[in-house]
Amino acid sequence: MQVRAFFAVDLKDKDIKKKITDIQSALTLPDTRIAFVVPENLHFTMKFLGDLEENIIPEIQTAAEKIKFNSFELDLNGLGCLPNFSYINAIYVGVTKGFTELSAVASKIEELSGQFNFRKEKRPFRAHLTIGRVKRIRDKNPLINKLKENEKTEFGKIIVNSFKLKKSVRTPQGPIYTDLFEVKSTD
């Protein structure tokens, strides 16, 4: 049986989640439809694997557990959008401190995924926490203004001490994520 899976670092901090839901409310604008990520699903995607055979998950776990890293701090600051202001597809919270460490873990996960013949990522890793996907927008200027107003908003700090392989099941109400396994830092 196949499962849709990805590696991620979860956002667990309740205070940061509250700040994000407040921002999401502020981004609810007329003539704009944004599918906001619900608080329990907020995460940093480290590597999207796509569909994989369920029977290879134990092998992936064994390989993932060989990834060694020390826990580190991430500062979550500012709002941005992907790919750019001309065409807004996703809205995210950015990362300042800890970007290098998160990128190093992502690079190790990328190497691991190559061992299992998952598609190599063409773009460089870009640490961001997606908080919404733009589905429809009539006039993007009000949204751009809100994003620019929050370019320097400080959301807080988290400690990254693990990453997970997560299963994703699409539903009409949004995705449901289930943890398949967790790899903890060495410290």
Q: Which residues are catalytic?
A: 43, 128
From residue 128, give the alpha-carbon distance in Å to each of 57, 93, 94, 135, 150.
Answer: 26, 6, 5, 19, 15
Radius of gyration of the chain (CA): 17
Q: What is the DSSP letter of 39?
A: G
Give the integer Cα–Cα distance in Å for 176 and 168.
Answer: 6
Of 125, 119, 118, 114, the residue nearest 46 (C-alpha) = 125
At a CB cut-off of 8 Å and minimum separation 6, what does 152 contact? 77, 78
What does the CA dihedral 49, 59, 41, 86 come to, rounded to 10 degrees? -20
Give the integer Cα–Cα distance in Å for 173 and 97.
Answer: 34
